[in-house]
Amino acid sequence: MAALPHRYPMLLVDRVESLVADERIVAIKAVTINEGFFQGHFPGRPIMPGVLIVEALAQAAGVLAVESLGLAGSGKLVYFMAIEGAKFRLPVEPGCLLKLEVEFVQKRASVCKFAGRATVDGKLAAEANFTAMIADPPAA
């Protein structure tokens, strides 16, 4: 939580299992039936929306960027810029532990590119490449 500005209900990273600065992160999202989106997606057949799986990967990437670039306490934010090649392979249901694996593809001071994979029990649930921008928060 120290590395991300997100809070409930949008905080989608529950814990970081491993982080190698400038390289990769492995994080976990425990998917529970209490998630608000399950009420409408879908009644009787709850499935985590694909866009939220990608958001969870992006948040893990945000932690990786903050830690690798020394941004903690700087006030800088990591903003989503682009998503490419998103593919969804397996439904993510309540009770799953979603493993988020993200690695740097390119790292610069203000723009970073990442490759991410989300798995459940070792099976690929989703994958995407994405780009993020490091910037000051908008003026209040």
Q: Which residues are catalytic?
A: 41
CB 61 within 8 A of CB 6: no
CA distance 80 to 94: 26
DSSP helix/strand/coil, 123: strand
CA distance 52 to 56: 6
